[in-house]
Every structure is written in C-alpha cells, then in structure tokens.
Chain A
Amino acid sequence: MNKETLIEVKNLTHRFSLSRKIAVNAVNDVSFQIYKGEILGLVGESGSGKSTIARCLMNIYTPTAGKILYKGINIHDPGEFRKNKKLLQTRRQIIFQDSASSLNPRMKAADIIAESLKIHHITPPRGTCQKEAAFQMQYVGLDESFLDRYPSELSGGQRQRIAIARALAMDPEFLAADEPIAALDVSIQAQVINLFKHLQQEHGFTFLFIAHDLAMVEYLCDRVGVMYRGRLVELAPAKELFANPVHGYTRTLLSAIPIPDPIRERNRKLVVYDESDFGEGEMKEISPGHFVLKPYKGER
C-alpha cells in the first residue's frame, strides 16, 4: 500500500475554557498521520474529542498546542496559511452531522452545491455552475429535479447527499466527515456509506470518517483510531483492530457491539474498563501499523 503522508498531526491539544477556572482538554496530546488515499476512521464515545480533531484539521478551531501539517504546510501558522490559502480552502472539504443546519434554508440545492465554485471564481469543468451542480447531483444519486428545491423540501438522506455533493464539487483531496450518518435512519445510513465507498474508489480522495457506529467503521475504513477522553488510545488497521484489540478501552468498546443473534447476544459479556492503563503516555508500535497508548513507566 502506498504510504505517502498527507496530513501529520503532531501533539495536538485543544482546550475549551468554560470559565476562568475550569477548562476542558477536548483533545489532549494526540499525534497521528493520515496517508494519501486511505479512509481513516475515528471512533469513541461522545465528548471524546473526535469532532474537535476534525474541526482543527479544517481550521475551524485553532489548537492550543501542537501543529498540523497538511502536505508539509503548517495550517495554523497565519503566514503559511495565507500563502497556501487557495489550496487549503479548495482541496479540503468537510461534511457535517446535521444536514438540516449545514444547508442554508434559503438557498436552492443548485446554489448550495455551486457555492464554493462561485467563491473561488472557478470555471466549472462542465461549463456552467448549473450543469456542474446537476452533474454532482447525479453523481451522489439524486435526480436533476431536485436542483430547484429548498432544503426544507428534502428528506434527511437527500439533504446529506446535497452536502456530500457540495463537498465533492471542488474535487477535494481530503474530506473530513463529522459523523455524517449519525442523524440518518438505518436504511439511509447504508446507502450513504455505500456512496462514500463508491466515491472514494472513484475519486481516490483521503477520507477522515468520524462515527460512533462501529460496524460501519469496520466496513468502510482502512485504519481506525480509538479515542477516549481526548486521547488517541489505539490506532491500527481496521481488521487488526477488530480482531486483536490491545488497549483496555478498545476491548470495552468492541465488546459493546450488539450482535444480531438473540442467543449470542444474551451470552455476550461486557468488559468494564477500569482506566488502569489510561493517562499520560506515548504511542507504542506493537506490531506493524498497530499503535497503542502505553504509560511512560514500565511495560505492562
């Protein structure tokens, strides 16, 4: 597999101050790489910092410490950002969880899809913005008749497809999807996941996929990172992680996957995570490509 690094996250820390005294470390000293053309999944419970990482990657938040290198560009350095502004703004795109609030209720679908083209005054590859929007729309599996509709006239799945089409209109190199399927019902989830898989194979973009549905992550992703309370506790190829979880929290998380078989489901044992191997530590590679957070002192 081609292992060219696209994004390198180094010791990323992001702190939200709630008041003068209380601050929450949403992301705490996280380092990892995203390789070109892979699908990296991030899983973890609510509040574990998955979305914060995605938003730091997209320059929505400026991290408290640490840096993010996108093709060697430090994206949070104002000077370097300005120099590579166009590249960073066009080749990175994000898809949000709530499709209702990520589309402007007073814009038509066609205008939403073509918005970024208009911002950067790019001549669309298919002539006019309208044609480009129609093309992208068919690409994500929607009929051209939806072009003149407002988001409030569409269903959740259709709206999410419009959001995907908007991201794809710029032909992105890196796509961050912040829980894109969490607000959809199961049948639509399957459709959207298959759409992602298909699009990724055709476009070959690099994809950061954030979810809390482990089955979907196993199906879609090449590598999976597990987050817990702001730290990345384990990072491994998907097959390896699901077959051979090492970190205590990963085991707990995987044991919580419901099994669609009543007999086995009843006998399923939940592992309780005791946080004994959580805390300050560093990522150790225990087998090729399999990293685990280990405390500094003493091998357990």
Chain B
Amino acid sequence: MMETANDSFQIVGQRPAPERTARLPKKWFQGKPLISIMILAAIILGCLCAELIMTKDPTYMDLQNYNQAPNREFLFGTDTMGRDIFSMLWYGGRISLTIGVLSTFISTFLAIVIGSFCGIAPQWLDSLLMRFTEIFLSIPSLLLIILFQAVWGKANVFSLSVVIGLTSWTSIAKVVRTEVRQIRNNEYVIASRCMGGNFFHILWKHLTPNFLPSIMFMVVMNIRSAIISESTLSFMGIGLPLEIISWGSMLSLAEKALLTSSWWIILIPGIFLITTLLCMTNIGNYLRRSGNQKESNL
C-alpha cells in the first residue's frame, strides 16, 4: 500500500470508452416522406400546367362519345355528358386545390388571431370567447357550411373557400390559445411589451414562430378536410354547379354512373382524390413528428 500511495491519481470506476466510428451523416432525404412529396408535387404540377397535358377541352360535351370506357382516344373514358375525364381531372384539380389552400389560409389566419387574442386576453374574456368557440365547434360543420352558403347565395370557388374557411378555424384556435398561454409568460414576451411592442408585433415576432410547429400538422390536415368538404358539398349538389369542374363535381355524377355501371366515372376521380389526401396526411404526420423532435431538442 505504501508503494502505491504515490501513484498518479486515478478515478475509481472509470473505463476507457469504446471507440466509436461515426455513423454516416443522414442524407437529406432520409426519414422524409419522399414518395408522398413526389406524387403530390406531380399532381400539383399537372394541375398547374393543365393546358399542356389535356388532350381534349374539358368543358366540351361530345354528345357522340358519351359514357365511353377508357380507350385510346379518351384515356380515362368520358362521363355521361361526353366530357373527357382525363382532361377534367387536371383541370378540376386546380379548383379543388385552390379551394383547399384558400380556405386553409383563411381558417389559419382566423385561428391564429382569435387563438392568440384569447391567450393574451384576461381570464373572463378568454372564457367567454372559448365557450363561444366550443358552441361553434359543437355544431356539425357541414350544417354550418350549408347555412352560410345559403345565406351567401350562389356558390362559386371564392364563396365556397370563404365558407369552408369560416367554419374550420375552431380546432386550430384552441391549440393556438393553449400554446400562447404557455408562451406569453416567457420573459421575452414581457420584455418586448416593456419595449412597447404592440399586439401584432408580439404575435408576429414572438408567438407565431414558437407555436407554428405545433399547428403545422393541423394546417396540412385542414387543406385535406377542405378538399373533402368541397367534394361532399358538390356530391350533394349544393356545392359548385356541374359546369364548374372540380373533383367534387365530377364525383357528383356518380349516382348516374352507378345506374349505367360505368365504373371509370367514379373510380378514377376517386383514386385521384384519395391519393392526394393520403399524400397530404403522410406529409402532415411527418411534420408533426419532426416538430415533436425539435421541441425536445430545445
């Protein structure tokens, strides 16, 4: 023992760490929903450049070739009024996607402003507004859309987007409010208020960047549900009129198609719609997961 007393200092329990080879850094595309992004991009691009892809005029009713099964001339067949389904798909996708994006834009804007206002407002005003939101949320949104649309009058793309946007902000607003309640007590918000930042400055600079990751998933899902709402309404015959082509109004021909057993009129627009929705769901799920990971890293 006496000899070892002068030995150099040693830490008990320390083991040499095994040498680790650094893993290959993740490629930029790993872990991202690449297939969904590619399919969605292809669909959006196709809709934007519809004029280049279309083989026929989508609005022209070719009465000699109505209800044709898919063939060389009409790639996806024709509908009961003799319109080319292939051309209608790309042309109508524009309307459906426009309604989806526009109404999501409106509802997200409403949700952020109302949610943040509730989050910052004093207790009684917050309770009041939240109860109002809950009442709004408890009414089936389809009923509200029909009501608003009836008040508005004849449906067009813009009115439909506004109506869908007006009815779908509630759930995002609730999330925004909860997030803002947490963020607003942070000292950077207090400091900003001391410096004289007004409500919109604080909202834009401090609150939105911090709660955006947590609502990103809901925003993407909102595009999806807006497209569904449009199709539902058009299918029921209270949405866009038949002469305005959208995926929904194409599906509204389905009942006639069932009688003539022409499967392509239902199936092909349906597949297109579902593929788009699935891609969006997938991307939305990815955004939610990556948002959660980033939160835990902070």
List residues of A whose CB falls within 8 A of some B CB.
58-60, 85-86, 89-90, 92-94, 96, 98, 101-107, 115-116, 119-120, 152, 166, 170
> Within the assembled complex, what's the spacing in Å between the Cα atoms of A96 and B188?
9
Q: Which of A92, A115, A120, A170 has the most CB of B within 10 A?
A: A115
Cβ of B196: which chain A residues have Cβ within 8 Å of it? 85-86, 89-90, 116, 119-120
> Would you call B195 and A115 a contact (CB within 8 A)?
yes
Q: Is residue B298 within 8 Å, beta carbon to beta carbon, of the partner chain? A: yes
Contact assessment for B210 and A89 in the assembled complex, using a CB-CB cutoff below 8 Å: no
Report if B209 contacts A (CB, 8 A). Answer: yes
Residues of B within 8 A of A85 (CB): 196
Q: Report chain A residues within 8 Å CB of B188.
A: 101-104
CB of B11 within 8 A of chain A?
Answer: no
Number of residues of chain B lying within 8 A (CB) of chain A? 17
Selected from A89, A98, A103, A152, the residue in CB contact (under 8 A) with B298 is: A152
Q: In the complex, what's the smallest C-beta–C-beta distance from A86 to chain B, in angstroms?
A: 8
Candidates B186, B191, B197, B201; contact of A94 at CB < 8 Å: B191
Query: Any chain A CB within 8 A of the CB of B256?
Result: no
Residues of B within 8 A of A152 (CB): 298
Also in contact, A104 and B205, with CB within 8 A (given A96-B187, A98-B187, A152-B298): yes
CB distance from B120 to the nearest CB of A (A): 14
Cβ of B278 under 8 Å from chain A: no
Q: Is B147 an interface residue (CB 8 A)?
A: no
Q: Name A92's closest neighbour in chain B (CB-CB).
A: B194
Please name the residue on chain A nearest to B195 by beta carbon. Answer: A116
Residues from chain A with a CB closer than 8 A to the CB of B197 are: 115, 119
B194-249 interface (Cβ within 8 A of A):
194-197, 201, 205-206, 209-210
Residues in chain A near residue B210, CB distance under 8 A: 104-106
By Cβ-Cβ distance, the 5 closest A-B pairs, closest first, are: A89-B196, A102-B187, A106-B209, A116-B195, A96-B187
Is the CB–CB distance between B187 and A119 below 8 Å?
no
| A107, B205: Cβ atoms closer than 8 Å | yes
Query: For B186, B188, B205, B298, which residue has the most chain A Cβ atoms within 10 angstroms?
Result: B188
The docked-state distance in angstroms from the alpha carbon of A152 to that of B210 is: 14
B190 proximal to A (CB < 8 A): yes
* Docked complex Cα distance between A170 and B210 (Å): 26
Question: Please, which residues of chain B bring their CB within 8 A of the CB of A101?
Answer: 186-188
Does B194 lie within 8 Å of A89, measured CB to CB? yes
* Complex: chain A residue closest to B183, CB-CB: A104
Q: Which of B164-207 contact A (CB under 8 A)?
A: 186-188, 190-197, 201, 205-206
Q: How far is the CA of A90 from the CA of B205 in the complex (A)?
A: 19
Give A251 to B209 CA distance when docked, in angstroms.
Answer: 49
Contact assessment for A60 and B195 in the assembled complex, using a CB-CB cutoff below 8 Å? no
Contacts of A107 in B (CB 8 A): 205, 209
